[in-house]
Chain A
Amino acid sequence: EPEVTQTPSHQVTQMGQEVILRCVPISNHLYFYWYRQILGQKVEFLVSFYNNEISEKSEIFDDQFSVERPDGSNFTLKIRSTKLEDSAMYFCASNAGLAVGEQFFGPGTRLTVL
């Protein structure tokens, strides 16, 4: 059964450094998402992406964040200059279309900012 994959599973970085989190959505899916979960808190929506552009973003998704689909398979989240408060689990998700409803989640990347 196809699954969303994410790399790396754990990323440790120094404050101020740039990080790129990578995701491979399910191949025939059209909508891609990033969520994050700070330890002990709820899963929070960051951004959705469709047809090579952002379709919706939350107030968390400020100028420090960007997303890209550099090729036909990868979907990336870049944090330009990481802060301590960016430490969280980042989940990628995809779905085939809005009418389908269900979003399929990846296993997550744990980002630790020191």
Chain B
Amino acid sequence: AQRVTQPEKLLSVFKGAPVELKCNYSYSGSPELFWYVQYSRQRLQLLLRHISRESIKGFTADLNKGETSFHLKKPFAQEEDSAMYYCALKKQAGTALIFGKGTTLSVSS
């Protein structure tokens, strides 16, 4: 069965420190991977998707098919990055997003 694992429930870092939010997946086909973010009192919104290979708000994520991972990274965390981050997978030819449990990122000064 398809599964997305985010092993950390909470990640606390200081402003300016590097951040890595881990995401591993299990799926035998070619998935599409996403990172969604939910800031306090706001709706879920797309942060980035692996096929665009872009950097959004300084975040990047690389799909590693060998390790079945899609970790989210940022070299220097900002306080405004504090939010809940969800990794999600879409199956080939599917419609559903399969979410991980989410990681709360807390950035303090």
Interface residues of A (CB under 8 A from B): 4, 31, 33, 35, 41-45, 48, 50, 55-56, 58, 91, 98, 101-108
Contact = CB atoms under 8 A, between A and B. Distances in A.
B45 interface: yes
Contacts of B51: 101
Q: 4 closest Cβ contacts across the A-B interface?
A: A45-B96, A48-B95, A105-B44, A43-B99
B44 A43 contact: yes
Contact of A108 (B34, B43, B98): B43
Interface in B52-108: 86, 90, 93-102
Nearest to B32: A101
Contacts of B99: 35, 42-45
Nearest to B38: A105
A50 B90 CA distance: 17
Interface residues of B, number: 21
Nearest to A48: B95
Interface of B: 32, 34, 36, 43-46, 49, 51, 86, 90, 93-102
B86 A31 contact: no
Contacts of B90: 101
A55 B46 contact: no
Contacts of A56: 94-96
A35 B38 CA distance: 15
B104 to A, nearest CB: 12
Contacts of A48: 95-96
Given A98-B95, A102-B49, A42 B100 contact: yes
Contacts of A106: 43
29 contacts: A4-B43, A31-B95, A33-B95, A33-B96, A33-B97, A35-B97, A42-B99, A42-B101, A43-B44, A43-B86, A43-B97, A43-B102, A44-B99, A45-B96, A45-B97, A45-B98, A45-B99, A50-B95, A58-B96, A91-B44, A98-B95, A101-B32, A101-B34, A101-B49, A101-B51, A102-B46, A102-B49, A103-B97, A107-B43
